[in-house]
Amino acid sequence: EVQLVESGGGLVQPGGSLRLSCAASGFTFNKYAMRWVRQTPGKGLEWVSDISSSGDNTYYADSVKGRLTISRDNSKNTLYLQMNSLRAEDTAVYYCAKGSPGTIDYWGQGALVIVSS
Amino acid sequence: DVVMTQSPLSLPVTLGQPASISCRSSQSLEHSDGNTYLNWFQQRPGQSPRRLIYKVSNRDSGVPDRFSGSGSGTDFTLKISRVEAEDVGVYYCMQGIQWPRTFGQGTKVEIK
């Protein structure tokens, strides 16, 4: 059974930093691209970032480019999202997701990030 | 960016009746590999999204056969043949042909 468990969410002040982690199990982690998708309270879904299976290729939404960094440790079956220079509009539930070509086949339970003073 | 436009945004349905959600993309979602990368997700209240349909019409394991996807190019439809109470939630389409990946605004399905 595929499991994706996010951690590291919380309250942070504007301009601050936070690192999200996603522990993956139930599949061969190093064979799949991984994604982060966020959902602002009461609103829709916004794709944030993708990383290839090897970690060599990364992609970002314009809204987060230069501030959020996706990475992975295939030896630990873990995906990361380093979040710097956070803004109020980054407040959202962040979902870790398993990717296959052109799709998302599994989602984590989400981690809430609140950016507020 | 590929813009995904869903309609309607709100869909009240009577139990046992059919429902249909439209999703239109601003560009064709047909890839040069021959696949069309259009996905449908369901998000029940208080839950994470769950994939229902991928590549237009392929239903995920465990998804009831009352759900079906169709379409091509830029015009796609998710149909529920007979709505049940457990189908309440928000449904999103998503394109997977181009970065940035983009979602529709979501369609809220509720029981009348």
Put simply, the answer to whether B51 touches A44 (Cβ < 8 Å) is no
Main-chain phi, psi angles of A20, to 5 degrees:
-95, 145
Which tokens hold the place of B55?
């590549």
Closest CA of chain A from B38, distance in Å: 8
Query: Which residues of chain A are within 8 Å of residue B57 when distances are taken between CB atoms?
Result: none
User: What ranges in chain A are assigned the alpha helix state H?
Assistant: none
* Nearest CB partner across the interface for B101, out of A47, A107, A110: A47
Work out the number of other CB atoms within 10 angstroms of the CB of residue A42: 5
Determine the pLDDT at residue A43.
79
> How do residues A34-49 score in pLDDT, each as one tens digit?
999 999 977 789 999 9
Residue A17 predicted with pLDDT over 90: yes
Q: Do the bridges between strand B102-103 and strand A3-7 make them parallel or antiparallel, or are there none, so unpaired? A: unpaired
Q: Are B107 and B82 in contact (CB under 8 A)?
A: no
| CB nearest B49 (choices: A45, A46, A61) | A45
Q: CA A46, CA A40: separation in Å to the nearest integer?
A: 8
**B92 CB near a chain A CB, below 8 Å?**
yes
Q: What is the C-alpha separation between B38 and B47, in angstroms, rounded?
A: 22
| Rounded CA Rg of chain A | 13
High-pLDDT (> 90) share of chain A, %: 97
